[in-house]
Amino acid sequence: MIRSSRARADNPRRNLNRLWFAQSTSLVGLQTGSVAVPLLAVDVLHADASQVALIGTVSSLPWLIAPVIGTIADRANRKRLLVVSHLGRALLWLTIPAAYLVGVLTMQQLWLISTMIGVLSVVFGVGCRTFLPTIVPEAELGSANGKMGGTDATARAAGPALAGYLIQLMGAVWTILIQTVTSLLAGVSTATIRPEPGLQFRSRPDQRSTRLAEWWRSIVDGFRCIYRIKPLR
């Protein structure tokens, strides 16, 4: 009985560590990709400045629909959403070296992949924060958010430097395989999380007309919130 109570006490800590590991590896991969993909475009496809700039633009545009993704995350299975975002990005990253090997890599592919990875990155960013309260008790939520926020800042600061080192060591094409590995690790780590029954998200009543009205209301409220907060606007 003592052993079972200890297991229940340790479960939130294990879950948090697994989510933290998934967040860390995913963010390092994203920061590495933000450097490797533009350099790949220049080095292999001889892209000009406007073409390289478009990679950054299309990868950032999905944040404009963050309220829509947030509404979906609020009503979906958040763990499944995170796993899909990680594994989806792993598959997308893998298509770049695969296309390079067979000689069919194009700028259009890089733009499309950057856009799709941008969408999945928004899913990850929104889903990770909303998933956290379902695996951590309320009393520990502040420290858990601090841990996740510190990791976010560290990964964003160290990621580009790590990317530069890996690109010099391996080349831009093969550095992108690092993103595939980190995304796979993040997906596996997230899949092993077992939320506490008392903390799990409870879905809302499945009444189609009411649900649709709530969806639209939530999306509109999200855009209103962004408009009202000046730094976000």
Per-residue pLDDT of the chain (233 residues; tens, 9 = 90+): 444 444 444 577 888 888 888 888 888 888 888 888 999 999 899 999 999 999 989 988 888 887 887 777 777 788 888 999 999 999 999 999 999 999 999 999 999 999 999 999 888 888 888 888 888 888 888 888 888 888 778 877 777 888 888 888 888 888 888 889 989 999 999 999 887 655 554 444 444 445 667 767 777 777 787 778 777 77
φ/ψ region of 103 (left if φ > 0, alpha if ψ in -120 to 50, else beta) reads: left
Radius of gyration of the chain from its Cα atoms, rounded to whole angstroms: 19
As a three-state string, the secondary structure of 149-178 is HHHHHHHHHHHHHHHHHHHHHHCHHHHHHH
Closest CA to 80 of 123, 36, 16: 123
Query: Residue 82, by phi and psi: left (phi above 0), alpha (psi -120 to 50) or beta?
Result: alpha
Domains of the chain: 2-202 (1.20.1250.20)
DSSP label at residue 171: -
The helix (run of H) or strand (run of E) holding residue 77 is none
> How far apart, in Å, do the first and last CA atoms of the chain sit?
54
Burial of 228 (0-12, 13-18, 19+ CB in 10 A): exposed
Instruction: Supply the pLDDT for residue 117.
Output: 92
Cβ contact 186:86 at 8 Å: yes
